[in-house]
Amino acid sequence: MGTLAGKTAVIMGASGKANFGAAIARRLGAEGANVVVTARREEPLRALASELGGLAVGCDVSDEQQIERLFSAVREHYGRVDIGVYSAGNYAAGAIADLTAEQIRPSLETSFIGALLFFKHAAAAMSDGGSVITMSSLTARIPGPGLAVYSAARAGIDYAIKVAAVEYAAQKVRFNSIAAGLINTDMTAELFEMDPVVQGHLRETPAGRMGTLDDVAEAALFLADEGRSGYINGQVLDLAGGQQMGHLPRFE
């Protein structure tokens, strides 16, 4: 019996074949949790839920009523919510000089506003305390050109978890974030076909390797499990092999 047996986990953003949400759902399910997978695209959700013996619920995070209905459906089906993982987001790239409001808004709607509303309704459903986790990015820790929108939305939520940890202390709901480095997923697969990109990241990563979906899933399990991380709250866990530290110039 796994350490999450009897717990219910809701994973937002789990509709990809190889993405953070799907990997986390599989790992939490393997540890015994009742798994609820949710995203806008319902067909891949149903396949994953069937694989895990869980529940699939369609939800568009730009609509707060859908988020509220998601958690109502989970409580009706399983009777409780213990873990919430927010892994939804859209990638937006562009120099600040070229940005328009129309380019900026979708990332804020999903990565920032949607995440805050997920926090609100996840915590409201956690009558016995719980753990809320959001996926962030190395790009919110160290700057790179063209990433102002994507990085700022992630960095904003990384600070919001600290506020949430304080506001929900009495409910014993913990909030933490995972700031992942470049990892091979549905969204980044093309980058991994560009050897200069991979080698450039490896040169700056003290761990000497790229991260994997298994690394992400294990980090999420750690933060989800009260027995493993019950005294960790309001923190950003850097999952980038040390790349997040940066360094002074090297002279060889």
pLDDT in tens, 150-191: 999 999 999 999 999 999 999 999 999 999 999 998 888 888
Q: Is residue 49 part of a domain?
A: yes
Q: What is the pTM of this model?
A: 0.95
Rounded Cα distance between 125 and 116, Å, is 14
Range of the domain at 110: 8-237
Whether 243 is in a domain gets the answer: no
Has residue 244 been placed in a domain? Answer: no
| 85-96 tens-digit pLDDT | 999 987 778 899
CATH number of the domain bearing residue 201: 3.40.50.720
CA atoms of 131 and 226, how far apart (whole Å): 8
Cβ-based neighbour number of residue 167 at 10 Å: 14
pLDDT of 250 strictly over 70: no
**204 three-class SS:** coil
Specify if 252 maps to a domain. no
What would the 3-class secondary structure string for 159-173 be?
HHHHHHHHHCHHHCE
Q: Please identify every residue annotated as catalytic.
A: 150
Count CB-CB contacts under 10 A for residue 53.
9
Token readout for 109 is: 């709607």
Q: Is residue 203 part of a domain?
A: yes
Residue 2, in any domain of the structure: no
Residues in the chain: 252
- Position 103 in a domain: yes
Residue 246 lies in a domain: no
pLDDT on residue 249: 66
Strand 34-39 versus strand 8-12 pairing type: parallel
The answer to whether 201 touches 182, Cβ cutoff 8 Å, is yes
How many domains does the chain fold into? 1
> Which tokens go with 195?
């050897």
